[in-house]
Amino acid sequence: MQTWTLPYRLIVLDWDGTVRDSIGSIVGCALEALAVVGIVGDEATVRGTVGLDIQESIARWAPGASSVQLEQVQVAYRDLWIGEWHARADLFPGAAEILRSLAAGGYWLAVATGKNRVGLDRDFSTIPQSLRELFVASRTADETQSKPSPEMVHSLLDELGVRACEALVVGDSTFDLLMARSAGCDAVGVLGGACLGQELIECEPKAVLEGICELDRWLAGR
């Protein structure tokens, strides 16, 4: 019987703002999509929705908008993202090296994202296959309930046969950390994404790191 010596078996990573430096692009695209429909957006409001599924996000961007306007914003956002804004985002510097280091050290890596499956697959297509293959599983917001519901994490745990106490969730938003708490998992917050440090601290993660590149060092100290 294998004895597990690492502090966790599975690391569940948020994608945007945690692995991929895309929050600025998401916010910019959202504000432009709202403007196309004649709605003046608020940057702080948009930033505060990163991590939710797109329908819930848009409803928060434009409270009081009609269902037709909300659909128009969603179409504009999709077209603008695919046509222009998607190409402006990339992995955080050093993220690929950290992912490879963690996988080589014996950790299983998974993704839990507010993106839909098409969006995550589009992002995966921009990174080397050797990097994509480091992720043993992934879940998107159109496959389960959106964050902060624990369903994404529960689904990953069930698929991989991992207990909640053996998993660590890493994310840049309060939605990620609240999802971890509801799932019964430890969590680590990272800066540089959607939320400020104090917002993350209030969710009581095990740590708040400057970014994903500090994760291997933090795990080594565990």
* Residue-range domains of the chain with CATH: 10-21+90-220 (3.40.50.1000), 23-88 (1.10.150)
Q: What is the DSSP letter of 108?
A: E
**What does the pLDDT look like over 30-63, one tens digit per residue?**
999 999 999 999 999 999 999 888 999 999 999 9
Q: What is the pLDDT of residues 92-145, one digit of tens each?
A: 999 999 999 999 999 999 999 999 999 999 999 999 999 999 999 999 999 999
Structure tokens at 199: 């917002």
Where b means 16+ CB within 10 Å and e means fewer, 169-186 reads bbbbbbbbbbbbbebebb
